[in-house]
Amino acid sequence: MIRRLTRWLLVFQGLAVIGLGVGLLKLAHLPHPWLALVLSIGLVVAIRLSITVGGFILAWRYRSETPAPFRIGLGMTVRLIGNEFGASMLSASWNMPFFQVGKRPAAQPEGHSVLLIHGYGCNSGYWRSMSKRLSAAHITHHGIDLEPALASIDHYLPAITEAIETLARDSGCDQVILVAHSMGGLISRAWLSEHGDNRIAAIITLGTPHHGTALARSGIGINARQMCCAADQTPSPWLQQLQRREAGRTVSWFDSIDSIYSHHDNIVSPQLSAHLDGATNFAVSGIGHVSLGMDRRVQDHVIARIRQIAISQRVHQNRSPT
């Protein structure tokens, strides 16, 4: 669905460029057709840029306090917006319409296999950049496309179960690592609360609204409502229910969760909603929401964490009595 939708959006934008170009030629009496084409493309790009800027403005309204070490100046702010705009354009106009990250086995795999779980309004194409880095690091990984796009988060859990079992079977691993962006992190926690951690070595979330995001109130779909938080930052009923399910378990798995988040996230706001007590939290600055999965610093951290988990498990196995 998302793949078809993003392709249709590209067609619509192409028609808009043509229509604007013809209009400029007739109404503005431009001397050259190529000038009309450049101007019409510029107008469409400006509209896309305004959407990105609007997201940052909304996020600023509901923002949490940025710690002093993570504050940025004007130049870095401009770079932040530019990088997020570029990441959004690349993801929505190229990666998601035309690429699918399916099964990516490594010839000589290192560490656990990884299941990549995308977020709201995305598909596995979002992970194209991360997939290239994981392949270069000899890490077996699978991507998953979750449909329908606007369903309840709990609706996706059977698909996650099937993907985990398939990945474990194909790679010969008893446990896998979940790397999840945005809503994907909530899907991972919901799956964990229902099935336990026997099949999960670790979960790494990127920009996940663990306590909800105010911007989800302008989203559509059941899952958007589930990711909401109120004006006083009270999590949605679904998030509160998830917290009760987790608290009802005799074992806490938060020590096996890494939450990577940005103090300048333009979708998760308040940004500290991505901080999960009991988890290993890794905060960054100057990175937008979509950019998180494409930023090399974040990718380096994810790969290092995957390798660290493998080393820790080998040490534990060597120390265990035979």
pLDDT in tens, 156-208: 999 999 999 999 998 888 899 999 999 999 999 999 999 988 899 999 999 99
The two three-digit tokens of residue 91, written as one number: 């993801």
The two three-digit tokens of residue 319, written as one number: 């120390």
Give me the residues paired with residue 257 across strands: 203
Quick one: pLDDT at residue 47? Answer: 92
CATH of 103-319, one of 3.40.710.10, 3.40.50.1820, 3.30.2390.10, 3.40.50.300: 3.40.50.1820
Cβ-contact 301, 104 below 8 angstroms: no
Cβ-contact 105, 125 below 8 angstroms: no
Radius of gyration of the chain (CA): 21
Q: Which residues of the chain have pLDDT under 50?
A: 322
Annotate the chain with three-state secondary structure: CHHHHHHHHHHHHHHHHHHHHHHHHHHCCCCCHHHHHHHHHHHHHHHHHHHHHHHHHHHHHCCCCCCHHHCCCHHHHHHHHHHHHHHHHHHHHHHHHHCCCCEECCCCCCCCEEEEECCCCCCHHHHHHHHHHHHHCCCCEEEECCCCCCCCHHHHHHHHHHHHHHHHHHHCCCCEEEEEECHHHHHHHHHHHHHCCCCEEEEEEECCCCCCEHHHHHCCCHHHHHCEECCCCCECHHHHHHHHHHHHCCCCCHHHEEEEEECCCCCCCCHHHHCCCCCEEEEECCCCCHHHHCCHHHHHHHHHHHHHHHHHHHHHHHHCCC
Cβ-contact 171, 109 below 8 angstroms: yes
Annotate 54-86 with three-state secondary structure: HHHHHHHHCCCCCCHHHCCCHHHHHHHHHHHHH
With b meaning 16 or more CB within 10 Å and e meaning fewer, what string describes 175-203? bbbbbbbbbbbbbbbbbbbeeeeebbbbb
- Give the number of other Cβ atoms within 10 Å of residue 136's Cβ: 11
Quick one: pLDDT at residue 37? Answer: 82
Give the domain ranges of the chain: 2-63+72-98, 103-319
Q: In angstroms, how far is the first alpha carbon of the chain from the final one?
A: 51
Quick one: pLDDT at residue 39? Answer: 84
Quick one: pLDDT at residue 314? Answer: 63
- φ/ψ region of 40 (left if φ > 0, alpha if ψ in -120 to 50, else beta) reads alpha
Pairing relationship of beta strands 257-262 and 176-181 according to DSSP bridges:
unpaired
Cβ-contact 208, 184 below 8 angstroms: yes
Q: For residue 286, give the amino acid letter.
A: G
pTM of the shown model: 0.93
